[in-house]
C-alpha cells in the first residue's frame, strides 16, 4: 500500500458569512491583489439585481469590472473557453463567481484555462492541474451546490453530451462569501431542488468510503438543517430558514469536497449531460433509490442519518432505523412538490444502457459504499423511472 493512500486532508477556503456580507466583495477582491475583475454570473442573477449591487461595491474599491454572463444550467465547455478569452483580452487579475453552481463551475473552468491553457477536456479527472489559478472568490446565490467551498468543477461537453468531472485542490476558491439575503430572489422550485442537492451532498459524504471525523459532523449537521429549514425556505422564503439552508449548503459542501460523493451523483451526471436536466432535481429523483441500494452496505451510518433526520432511533435495531431514511426522503420530496419519476422529466427508457455505462465510469462511484456493476445501475435507473 502506498503510504500516501492512508493520508487524509481537509481543505476549505476562507469563509465570510452573514446578512448583507455582499458588501465585502470589493474588499475581498482588493486584498487578493485585484485591479481588473472578471465577474462571472448569469442572466437570472443579473435580472435579480445582484450583479449591479456587486459592481457598486467593487466600484467603491476602485476596481474595474468586466461581466461575463454566457452561462447556462450545466455550463458548456465552449462557454468556459470564451470566458477565458475574455479574461485574457481584458487583462483581468481576479475572478468572482456570483450565482449558483453553474457560474461557479464556469468560473473555475475559466481559471484553469487562463493559467494552464489547452482545452478544459485536458483536465478531466483528479489532480491534473499543474499551475495555480488566479485568485477566485465565490458568492453563492443558491443554497445547495457547495461549489463555493469544493474542489470540484462539473462542465458539460455538448458534442459528446456528457458531464465532465474535474477534481483538484487547485480550483478551490480563495474566499467563499455567503450572504443569505441573496437567496430571497430564487424561485421556490429552485430553492427546493438546490436544497435536495445539499441533502444529497451531506448523505453521500457521510457514507463515503473517504469520510472521516473531520467531515462527518459537517455532513450530519447539514442533514439536520435541511430537514429543519428546507420546506419553509422553499414555501415562505423566511430569512431564518434561508440562513439555515445557507449553512446547510456550506457544511454539506465542506463535507463532500473532502470526503467526495457517491452513486447518486454518478447516476445524476449523465442525466445532466444527455438531457440538460437540473442537477439538484436529478439528485432528488435518484436519491431514494440509491439510498435503498446502499443501506445494506453501511447500515450503521444510515441509522445515524435517520437520527439526524428526526427519526426515533433509541432502542431501535440499526437495520430498522436505516430503512426509514429513504421513506423520510420521499416524504420531504413530496412536501416540496418536486417530481418523483425520471419519466416525468423527459428521460427515455431506451437511453438507460447509455446512462448506466457513463454512471459506472463516473469518478463519484469510486467512493460510494459499494461500486455497482452496470447491470445494477440499469436496475436503479428503472426503479426511478
Given 139, 154, 182, which residue is the final one in a domain?
A: 182
Residue 8, pLDDT score: 83
Q: What is the pLDDT of residue 191?
A: 96
Q: Are 135 and 115 contained in the same domain?
A: yes
Q: Using CA atoms, how far apart are residues 173 and 254, in angstroms rounded to an integer?
A: 12
Residues 110 and 255 in one domain: no
pLDDT in tens, 313-364: 999 999 999 999 999 999 999 999 999 999 999 999 999 999 999 999 999 9
Residue 9: pLDDT band by 50, 70, 90 thresholds? confident
> Are 153 and 249 in a shared domain?
no
Could you tell me if residue 225 is left (phi over 0), alpha (psi between -120 and 50 degrees) or otherwise beta? alpha
Domains contained in the chain, number: 2
- For residue 5, name the pLDDT band (cuts at 50, 70, 90): low
Domain with 102, as residue range(s), is 3-182
Same-domain status, 171 and 47: yes
**Residue 79 confidence (pLDDT):** 97
Helix 188-207 vs helix 299-308: angle between axes, to the nearest 10 degrees?
140
Average per-residue pLDDT for the chain: 95
Q: How sure is the predictor about 7, in pLDDT bands with cuts at 50, 70 and 90?
A: confident
Taking only the tens place, the pLDDT of each residue in 80-109 is 999 999 999 999 999 999 999 999 999 999
Q: What is the pTM of this model?
A: 0.94
Same-domain check for residues 151 and 89: yes
Same domain, 275 and 149: no
pLDDT of 255 higher than 80: yes
CB-neighbour burial class of residue 81 (10 A; exposed 0-12, middle 13-18, buried 19+): middle
The mean pLDDT value for 207-231 works out to: 97
Both 247 and 355 in one domain: the answer is: yes
Domain end position, chosen among 144, 165, 182: 182
End-to-end Cα separation, the chain, in angstroms? 41
Q: What is the CATH number of the domain that holds 281?
A: 1.20.1090.10
Please report which confidence band the pLDDT of residue 253 belongs to, taking 50, 70 and 90 as the band edges. very high
Q: Are residues 291 and 215 in the same domain?
A: yes
Residue 361 CB neighbours (<10 A) = 13
> What is the percent of the chain with per-residue pLDDT over 90, rounded to a whole number?
95
* CATH number of the domain bearing residue 71: 3.40.50.1970
State the Cα–Cα distance between residues 142 and 145, nearest whole angstrom.
7
Same domain, 140 and 240: no
Distance CA(207)–CA(202), nearest Å, equals 9
Which domain-ending residue is among 182, 199, 222? 182
Per-residue pLDDT tens for 22-75?
999 999 999 999 999 999 999 999 999 999 999 999 999 999 999 999 999 889
Same domain, 167 and 214: no
pLDDT at 2 exceeding the cut of 60:
no
Average pLDDT over residues 126-138: 96
pLDDT value of position 241: 98
Residue 9 per-residue DSSP state: -
- Kindly state the DSSP code that residue 100 receives in the 8-state scheme: S
Per-residue pLDDT at 277 exceeds 60: yes
Please state, as a whole number, how many other Cβ atoms lie within 10 Å of the Cβ of residue 174.
18
Q: So what's the pLDDT on residue 1?
A: 33
Q: Which residues contact 344 (CB under 8 A, 6 or more apart)?
A: none
Examine the domain organization and report whether 174 and 195 are in the same domain. Answer: no
The verdict on 7 and 103 lying in the same domain is yes
Q: How confident is the model at residue 160, as a pLDDT? A: 87
What are the backbone dihedrals phi and psi of residue 309, each rounded to the nearest 5 degrees, phi first?
-80, -10
pLDDT of residue 4: 52
pLDDT band at 111; cut points 50, 70, 90: very high
- Report pLDDT digits (tens) over 11-23: 999 999 999 999 9
155 pLDDT higher than 90: yes
DSSP letters, 326-355, are HHHHHHHHHHHT----GGGGT--GGGHHHH
Amino acid at each position: 500500500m502506498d503510504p500516501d493512500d492512508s493520508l487524509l486532508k481537509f481543505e476549505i477556503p476562507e469563509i465570510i458569512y452573514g446578512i448583507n456580507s455582499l458588501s465585502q466583495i470589493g474588499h475581498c477582491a482588493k486584498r487578493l491583489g485585484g485591479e481588473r475583475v472578471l465577474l462571472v454570473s448569469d442572466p437570472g442573477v443579473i435580472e435579480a439585481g445582484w450583479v449591479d449591487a456587486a459592481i457598486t461595491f467593487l466600484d467603491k474599491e476602485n476596481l474595474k469590472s468586466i461581466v461575463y454572463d454566457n452561462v447556462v444550467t450545466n455550463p458548456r465547455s465552449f462557454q468556459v473557453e470564451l470566458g477565458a478569452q475574455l479574461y485574457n483580452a481584458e487583462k483581468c487579475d481576479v475572478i468572482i463567481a456570483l450565482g449558483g453552481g453553474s457560474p461557479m463551475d464556469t468560473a473555475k473552468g475559466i481559471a484553469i484555462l487562463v493559467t494552464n491553457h489547452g482545452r478544459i477536456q485536458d483536465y478531466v479527472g483528479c489532480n491534473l492541474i499543474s499551475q495555480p489559478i488566479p485568485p477566485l472568490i465565490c458568492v453563492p446565490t443558491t443554497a445547495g451546490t457547495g461549489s463555493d467551498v469544493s474542489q470540484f468543477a462539473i462542465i458539460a461537453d455538448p458534442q459528446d453530451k456528457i458531464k465532465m468531472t474535474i477534481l483538484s485542490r487547485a480550483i478551490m476558491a480563495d474566499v467563499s462569501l455567503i450572504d443569505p439575503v441573496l437567496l430571497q430572489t430564487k424561485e421556490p422550485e429552485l430553492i427546493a431542488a438546490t436544497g435536495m442537492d445539499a441533502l444529497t451532498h451531506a448523505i453521500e459524504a457521510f457514507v463515503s468510503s473517504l469520510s472521516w471525523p473531520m467531515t462527518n459532523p459537517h455532513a450530519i449537521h447539514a442533514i439536520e438543517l435541511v430537514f429543519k429549514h428546507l420546506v419553509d425556505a422553499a414555501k415562505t422564503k423566511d430569512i431564518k430558514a434561508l440562513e439555515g439552508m445557507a449553512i446547510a449548503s456550506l457544511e454539506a459542501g465542506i463535507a463532500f469536497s473532502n470526503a467526495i460523493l457517491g452513486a447518486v451523483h454518478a447516476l445524476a451526471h449523465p442525466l445532466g449531460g444527455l438531457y440538460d436536466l437540473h442537477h439538484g432535481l436529478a439528485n432528488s429523483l435518484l436519491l431514494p433509490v440509491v439510498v435503498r441500494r446502499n443501506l445494506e452496505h453501511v447500515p450503521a451510518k444510515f441509522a445515524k442519518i435517520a437520527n439526524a433526520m428526526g427519526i426515533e432511533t433509541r432502542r431501535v435495531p440499526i437495520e430498522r432505523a436505516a430503512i426509514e431514511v429513504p421513506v423520510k426522503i420521499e416524504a420531504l420530496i413530496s412536501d416540496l412538490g418536486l417530481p418523483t419519476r425520471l419519466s416525468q422529466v423527459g428521460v427515455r427508457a431506451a437511453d438507460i444502457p447509455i446512462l448506466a455505462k457513463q454512471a459506472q465510469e463516473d469518478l463519484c462511484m469510486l467512493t460510494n459504499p459499494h461500486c455497482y456493476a452496470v447491470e445494477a445501475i440499469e436496475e436503479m435507473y428503472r426503479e426511478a423511472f
